[in-house]
Each structure stands twice: as structure tokens, then as C-alpha cells.
Structure 1
Amino acid sequence: MNKKELVESLSEKRNITKKEAEVFVDTIFDTITDQLVADEKVLISGFGTFKVNHRNERKGVSPKTQEVMTIPASSTVNFKPSNRLKDAMN
């Protein structure tokens, strides 16, 4: 499912216009993004938890040239599904 399909599904299930559904979806995504950028954990009961993981700068070796290089620090988002979501999947 992509964003367009999500908007269409929400529109049909809640009997609202696609434009209103798109505003809701965008607002939810923007709010989650803002919280993650602020290094906050986002817990959605019954669905799961989004959390920011930080990776430190480290040394690596280029497989092509065997040259030692520095891999810069970065942040990634991790999602852990709730038990309820896991149970629904099985």
C-alpha cells in the first residue's frame, strides 16, 4: 500500500473527501517525523514503536580499493511492532 492507496482507504472508511483524508495522513506523518527529529520515541498503542538509533563515526575499508575510510555518524529509524500487531500477522 502506498500513500495514495492509504488516503483512498481512509476516505472510504470514514466517509470523508480524499482531500480531507490526505490532510489527516500528512498531519500524522509530519507529527511522527517532528518527534523523531527531536529524538523522541513515538509509541502507537496496538501498532508499534518508532525510535531513533544513532550510529557513531567508524572506520571502514572500501572493498574496491582496500582503502581505509571514515564512515560518518548517522541516525536511523527503527520500528518495533507491538504484540497485538504481531498476533494479527500470525
Structure 2
Amino acid sequence: MKKTDLVQTLTENNNLQKSDVKLAVDCILEKITQSIVSGEGVEIRGFGGFLKKHRKARQGINPKTCERTQVEEKYVPFFKPGKSLKEMVNKG
């Protein structure tokens, strides 16, 4: 599902203005992004949590040339699914 699909679904199912729903979705995603960047993270009970993880520097290999390169340390966004979400996914 893309962001536009989410906006469309929320608009149709709740009889809301598309512009209002788009603004709300944008605000929610911006706040989640800001929380991850600041290191605070976001936890949505039953769904999961968003946080940033530190990755150490390592040796990488270019698959085309087989050349070894140094990959710098960095932070990456990470999603940890909640128990309820894992159970629903496993039930299919």
C-alpha cells in the first residue's frame, strides 16, 4: 500500500475531505520521522515500534567488481513488529 492508497482508503471509509486526510497522514509521518531521527523512537501498542539502530563500520564488497571497500558506521531506521502484528501475519 502506498501513501496515496492509504489517503484514498481513509477518505472513502470515513467520509472525510481528501485534503484533510492527506494533511493528517503527512503530519503523522513527519512526527514519526522526527522521533526516529532524535533517537526517541515511536511505539504503537499492538503494531510495533520505530527506532534508529547503530551499524558499525565494516568491510563491504562491490558485487560487480568484487572490490573491497570500507562501509562507514551509520544509523539506520528500524521497525520492530509488536506481538499482535506478528500473530496476525502468521495466521495469514
TM over 0.5: yes
Structure 1: unaligned runs, 5 residues or longer: none
Give 1:74's aligned residue: 74
Q: What is the CA-CA distance between 1:62 and the residue it aligns to?
A: 4.4
The RMSD of aligned alpha carbons is 1.7
Q: What is the CA-CA distance between 1:61 and the residue it aligns to?
A: 4.5
1:3-82 equivalences in 2 (<5 Å): 3-62=3-62, 64=65, 66=67, 68-82=68-82
- Report the CA distance shift for 1:84/1:65 in structure 2 as closer, same or farther (over 3 A): closer
Q: What is the CA-CA distance between 1:88 and the residue it aligns to?
A: 2.0
The two structures have a TM-score, normalised by structure 2, of: 0.83
Structure 2: unaligned runs, 5 residues or longer: none
CA–CA separation in structure 2 for the residues paired with 1:65 and 1:46: 43
CA–CA separation in structure 1 for the residues paired with 2:73 and 2:14: 43
Query: In terms of mean alpha carbon deviation, does 80-89 or 54-63 score higher?
Result: 54-63
Name the SS for the 1:20 alignment partner.
helix
Superposed CA deviations along residues 12-70 of structure 1, whole A, max 9, x for unmatched, are: 2221111000001001100000000101121001111112111122334545254x432
What count of residue pairs does the alignment treat as equivalent? 89
Identity of aligned residues (%): 35
Name the SS for the 2:11 alignment partner.
helix
The two structures have a TM-score, normalised by structure 1, of: 0.85
